[in-house]
Amino acid sequence: MRALVQRADSASVTVDGQVVGAFEGPGLVVLVGVTHTDSEESAARLARKVYQLRIFDAGRFQHCGLPSGSREVSAADLGLPVLVVSQFTLYASTAKGRRPTWEAAAGGDVAEPLVALFAATLRSLGATVPEGRFGADMRVSLTNDGPVTVLVEV
Average pLDDT per block of 10 residues along the chain, 154 residues long: 98 98 98 98 99 89 62 92 98 95 97 99 99 97 96 98
Give residue 61's pLDDT.
74
Q: Which domain holds residue 95?
A: 2-153
Could you tell me the CATH number of the domain that includes residue 32?
Answer: 3.50.80.10
Give residue 57's pLDDT.
87
Q: Which residues of 61-80 are buried (b: 16+ CB within 10 A; e: fewer)?
A: beeeeeeeebeebbbbbeeb
In total, how many domains does the chain have? Answer: 1
Give residue 59's pLDDT.
75
Give residue 60's pLDDT.
77
Contacts of 113 (CB under 8 A, 6+ apart): none
* CA pair distance 46, 44, nearest whole angstrom: 5
* CA pair distance 153, 50, nearest whole angstrom: 10
Give residue 64's pLDDT.
64
Kindly list the catalytic residues.
87-89
* CA pair distance 135, 70, nearest whole angstrom: 40
Give residue 144's pLDDT.
96
Give residue 66's pLDDT.
61
